[in-house]
Structure 1
Amino acid sequence: MNQQVNSVFQTIDGEQFGVYETAVEAIAASAAAQVEFQNEFGTEARNRIIAAIRQVILDSAGPLGEMAVEESGLGRVAHKIAKNQLSATATPGTESLLTQAISSDDGLTIEERAPFGLIGAVTPVTNEIPTIVSNVISMLAGGNAVVFNVHPSAKMTSAVAIDRINRAIIASGGPADLVTMIKDPTLDTLQEIVQAPEVRLLVGTGGPGLVKALLSSGKKAIGAGAGNPPVVVDGSADVALAGASIVAGASFDNNLLCIGEKEVFVVEPQAEALIDAMMQSGAYLLNTEQVEQVTNLVLTADDNEEMAIACSFGMDREYHLRKEWVGQDAKKILGAIGVEVDTPVDLLIFDAQVNNPFVQLEQMMPVLPIVRCQGFAQAVDFAVDAEHGNRHSACIYSNNVNNVTYFAKRIGTTVFTQNGPTLVGLGYGGAGTTSFTIAGPTGEGITTARDFTRVRRFAIAQGGNRII
C-alpha cells in the first residue's frame, strides 16, 4: 500500500461525515436532512451543491482509484480513476428535470418532478465510487437524500468518498447527512433499509438476486441488473477498427463492467483479420492447451467452492467464476499457467465454440472468447442467445445499415453501440450522459435525476376565475 493511500485509510479511525454505525442512525439522519433540503433548497442551490460534489470527486479521483484497487483487489488503477472522473463530469444534474405546462380554455395544468424523499441504495464492488457518485448527483438533483448499503469489500473506500461528499455539501451551504452509509454493511442492514418506513424508493445496482429482493419489498424499486454483452462483427466491418476497439473495451478495468464486451461473434471471412488486429492492439492469443489451463484456473464446477455467482437471469450453469480471479490482470492469469511474456498484455483471446462456458458466462475478467460464424444471421442468433435476455448492452461493427438495424431490433438492449466500444454508450469517448446504474430489468435504462423523482400534477380549473 503506498503512503498516500495508507494515510487516507488511516483517517477512517477519525470522524467521518455521513458514516454511521447503525442503519437506524443513518436512516434518521438522512431523512431529517432531506426534509430540510426539499423545503429550503431550490434548483440554484442544488446546482451549487452538485458542482461542489463534482469538484471534490475530481480532486480525489486518483487516491480513490488507488484505494479501490487496494481494498477490493479488483481492476486497474488508471481505469478506476477514469471512471471516477467520468461519473463526476458526465452525470447529468437538474437539467434532466423538465416541467411540462398544458394550457387550454379549460385551464392550466403543470406537471413537475417531485422528490421521492429518502432513497435506499445498494452499490457493487465492481464500480464502487462511480456508482455512488452518479447516484448522489442524480438523486440530490431531484431533491432527495440517500442512504447507502455499499458492498462490504469496498466499504472503506466508499466511506472516504461519502465523507468527502458530505464535507463538500456542507461547505457549499447544504445540510449535513444528505448522503449517508452504514459503516459495516451487511444483508441485515440492507433489510433494515428496505423495511424502514422513511425510505420511499429503493435502487440496486447488481445481480438478479439483489434486484429480485428489492422488487419484492413492496416499495418502488429501480433495479440495475447484469449483462453479458455480445459483439457482432459482420462482413462489412473495418476489422482494424474493430480489433482495437474490442480490446480497449473488453480490457477496460479488467472487464469488470457489466457493460463491457464479453464475447465476440465474427463472420468467418473476417475472423483471421480480426484476431490479427486484436493481437496488434494488446491481445494475447491462447492456444488450445492454454485455453484448457486458463479454464481450469479461473472457472470451477464445484458448487462448494467459493465463487462469484454468475449474474444473468434464469441461468443454471455447469461452471462458475473462481472469485479470486475476477478483475485480475491478463498477465497475472498467464503467469499462473506458466506463460511469461515481455510485451504488455491487456486481454486474453481464443477461438471458441458457442457453448464454451466463457461465451455463456459473464466472466468479469480479461478473457474474451471469439466464435466464428457461418454468416451474419448465425452471428446474430448466437449473440441473442448469449445475452440471455438481460437487455443490458451489445455492440456491432458494421457499415451495413440494414445489418445494424436488424441486430439492434433483435437484441433489444438498453445500450447499443456501433463501431465503438460499449463504453461510448456511457458517454466515455462518445456523446451522451453517464450513469453507473443501468436499469434494464425495471426499464428506466440509463438513469438520471428524472428517474429518481415522481410526477406531481398541479391543475388550475377554468383558468382559476370560476367558482362552482
Structure 2
Amino acid sequence: MEIVDKDLQSIQEVRNLIAKAKKAQEEFRKFSQNDVNKVIENMVKASEANAVKLAKMAHEETGFGKWQDKVVKNKFASRVIYNNIKDMKTTGIIKDDKEKKVMDIAVPVGVVAGLIPSTNPTSTVMYKSIIALKAGNAIVFSPHPSAKNCIIETVKVLSKAAVEAGAPEGIIGAMTILSMAGTDELMKNKDTALILATGGEAMVKAAYSSGNPAIGVGPGNGPAFIDKSADIHLAVKRIVDSQTFDNGVICASEQSIVVEKCIKDKVIEELGKQKVYFLNKEQSEKLGKFILRSNGTMNPQIVGKSAQVLAQLSGITIPSDTKVLISEQTTVGKKNPYSREKLTPILAFYCEETWKDACDRCIELLMNEGKGHTLIIHSNNEDIIKKFALTKPVSRILVNTPGALGGIGGATNLVPALTLGCGAVGGSATSDNVGPMNLLNIRRVAYGVRELEDIKASVGAESGSSCDSQGLSEDYIQSIVKSIMSKLNN
C-alpha cells in the first residue's frame, strides 16, 4: 500500500505555486501603469459578476453571517476598493520633487503570501488580490480550512480575469492541499517577499515569527462609548446595524457598550425598542459557558450566528424578534467571555459613574483584548471626542458611525480595506487600513544640493577652527579630559 504524506504534498504544492508566482511577477513588474490598471479593472468586473455566487458559497460552507450581506462585502472589496485606488500611481516614477530634487520610484515587493480567514473569505481574497497586483506583485493564498472551497473558487475567478487582461499565468494562486506544514512553508519560503496575514492571533504571531516581513492584524474587541451628549436613538441604531450586518463577523464591529450612569436608563430603554434583548443572570451564565471553550478560546460555533440560533445553541428562550443579545457586566478579564471579541450579535453592557470612568473602562477592555484595533464613540461633544482620541490605545477611533462599516472605510473616509493594522501596541507592523502603498517599497533618487563647505557652514564649523579627525574641536576635547581627571582625583 502506497503511503501518501499530506504534509509533503502540501509543501511541494506551495513551492510550485511560489515558483510560478515568482516567474509571473518578474514579468508583471515590467507592466506599465496602464497595463496594470487594465488587469485590476478586469478582476473587479469578474468579482462583481460573481459576487452573489461566491457570497452564497461562503455562507453555505462556513455557516457564518448572511449571504446577502456577503454580497455587499464582495462588492465593497472589489468596486469600492477599486474606486479608491484606480488613479493611484504605483509603477515607475510616482513622485518627482523638482524643488528638493528627490524622486520616488515604486518597487514591487515580489510574491505576497495571503492568509485568509473564514469570517470574510471571498471578500478578503478579492481585496488582497486587487491591492497586491495594483502594487505590481504576485500573490499566493493559504485558505482557512473551513472556507477552502469558496476561497479557491474566488481565486479561480480572479486568476482567470487577470490572465484574460494580459497578466501572466501564476500571478494569483492558492493552496489546495491544506496543512499547517504547507502554510508554514508559504510563510518561510525564501522567495516569499511579504506576508499579509488576516486571521487568528496564533496565526498572526506565526507570520511575524516566520523570518519574512509581515503585515498582520490582531483581534478586535471594540468598545462603543455612548456619551451623554449623543443622540441615543441614532447611537443604538448604528450599533445594531453593525452587529446585525453579516451577524457581526467584521473585526471592527462593537463588542461592548459603555455608558455613563446618568443616561443608563435611557440607553437601556432605547436598546429594548430596537430589539436588543437583555439577558438575565441565569441566561448570561448559560450563554457565557457556551461562548468560551474549556481551553479559554472562543467557541467557533457562535461566530456569525443570529440571536435566535445563539439562544437555541445555549438553551435559553428569547423573544422571536430579537436582533442582538446583551449582558450587563461589571468585570473585564480573559475568563469573562463577554469582555472579549465574539464576532456575533452578543454585546457586553457596562455602566460607569462618569465619562472619565467610562474612558478607563474602554482602555481596560482594549488592553484585555483588541489593543491597537478600534474604538467607537457616540458623542456630540468635540472636547470629549478629542480627549478620548488622545488616550486610547487604538489605531482607529470611529465617531458616530457603525463600527463594522466605519472601520473598513465603508461609512467613513478611511482607506477602504479588509486588513486593519493594529500598530505597535497591537503587535502589528502598521496602524494603517492596508492598501497598495503598504505592499511596495520606495526607491529614492536624491540629487546633491550642498557641498562639504556648505554643510560645515550650516553647523557652525568655520574654516579656521581646529578640529580632530572626528570633527571635534581641540578645546572641546580638552574640556572633557579635564572633567574626567577632576572626577578621578576626587
TM-score grouping bracket, smaller chain normalisation: 0.7 to 0.9
Distance 1:272 1:245 in 2: 19
In the alignment, which residue of structure 1 is the partner of 2:385? Answer: 404
In the alignment, which residue of structure 1 is the partner of 2:354? Answer: 375
CA contact (8 A) 1:155 1:184 kept: no
What displacement does 1:338 show? 4.2
In the alignment, which residue of structure 1 is the partner of 2:216? Answer: 223
In the alignment, which residue of structure 2 is the partner of 1:101? Answer: 96
Q: 1:377 to 1:340 in 2, by over 3 A?
A: closer
Instruction: Give the number of the structure whose alpha-carbon radius of gyration is greater.
Output: 2
In the alignment, which residue of structure 2 is the partner of 1:427? Answer: 409
Q: 1:51 to 1:20 in 2, by over 3 A?
A: farther
Q: Which of 294, 307, 312 lines up with 1:330 in the alignment?
A: 307
Q: Which of 365, 377, 391 lines up with 2:344 in the alignment?
A: 365
What displacement does 1:278 show? 2.3
CA contact (8 A) 1:444 1:451 kept: no
In the alignment, which residue of structure 1 is the partner of 2:456? Answer: none
Q: Does 1:74 align with 2:74?
A: no
Q: Does 1:279 align with 2:272?
A: yes
CA contact (8 A) 1:50 1:93 kept: no
Distance 2:292 2:101 in 1: 62
Distance 1:359 1:295 in 2: 7
AA aligned to 2:365 is: A
What displacement does 1:460 show? 5.0
What displacement does 1:358 show? 3.4
In the alignment, which residue of structure 1 is the partner of 2:22? Answer: 31
What displacement does 1:29 show? 1.3
Q: Does 1:447 align with 2:442?
A: no
In the alignment, which residue of structure 1 is the partner of 2:4? Answer: none
**Structure 1: tracts of 5 or more residues without a match:** 1-18, 304-318, 464-468
SS in 2 for 1:369: strand
CA contact (8 A) 2:305 2:345 kept: yes
Q: Does 1:339 align with 2:317?
A: yes
Q: 1:31 to 1:289 in 2, by over 3 A?
A: same
SS in 2 for 1:445: coil
What displacement does 1:326 show? 2.2
1:39-98 CA deviation, whole Å, 9 max, x = no partner? Answer: 2x1111111111111111111111111111111122221221111111112224354447
Distance 2:273 2:261 in 1: 20
Structure 1 residues 97-176: aligned runs within 5 Å: 97=89, 99-103=94-98, 108-176=101-169
Distance 2:12 2:76 in 1: 30
AA aligned to 2:259 is: V
Q: Which of 54, 61, 84 lines up with 2:51 in the alignment?
A: 61
Distance 2:175 2:399 in 1: 41
Give the strand-richer structure, 1 or 2. Answer: 1
1:131-156 CA deviation, whole Å, 9 max, x = no partner? Answer: 21111111111100011112111110
CA contact (8 A) 2:108 2:137 kept: yes
Deviates more, 1:249-258 or 1:386-395: 249-258
What displacement does 1:420 show? 1.1
What displacement does 1:461 show? 5.4
CA contact (8 A) 2:371 2:393 kept: no
Q: Does 1:350 align with 2:327?
A: yes
1:145-193 CA deviation, whole Å, 9 max, x = no partner? Answer: 0111121111100011000001111222222221101102221111211
What displacement does 1:416 show? 1.4
SS in 1 for 2:140: strand
Distance 1:279 1:416 in 2: 26
Q: 1:338 to 1:384 in 2, by over 3 A?
A: closer
CA contact (8 A) 2:65 2:247 kept: yes
AA aligned to 2:124 is: T
CA contact (8 A) 1:20 1:26 kept: no
AA aligned to 1:147 is: V
In the alignment, which residue of structure 2 is the partner of 1:248? Answer: 241
SS in 2 for 1:394: strand
Count of matched residue pairs: 425
Distance 1:338 1:369 in 2: 17
AA aligned to 2:97 is: I
In the alignment, which residue of structure 1 is the partner of 2:488? Answer: none
What TM-score results when the alignment is normalised by the length of structure 1?
Answer: 0.86
What displacement does 1:444 show? 4.2
Distance 1:461 1:378 in 2: 55
Distance 1:298 1:195 in 2: 34
In the alignment, which residue of structure 1 is the partner of 2:288? Answer: 295
CA contact (8 A) 1:96 1:450 kept: no
What displacement does 1:335 show? 2.7
AA aligned to 1:433 is: V
Identity %: 25
What displacement does 1:232 show? 0.7
In the alignment, which residue of structure 2 is the partner of 1:261? Answer: 254
Q: 1:77 to 1:177 in 2, by over 3 A?
A: same
Distance 2:320 2:306 in 1: 15
1:302-347 CA deviation, whole Å, 9 max, x = no partner? Answer: 22xxxxxxxxxxxxxxx4322222222111122342425342x221
In the alignment, which residue of structure 2 is the partner of 1:384? Answer: 363
Distance 2:196 2:355 in 1: 38
AA aligned to 1:448 is: G
**Structure 2: tracts of 5 or more residues without a match:** 1-9, 423-427, 451-490
Distance 1:80 1:184 in 2: 26
In the alignment, which residue of structure 2 is the partner of 1:4? Answer: none
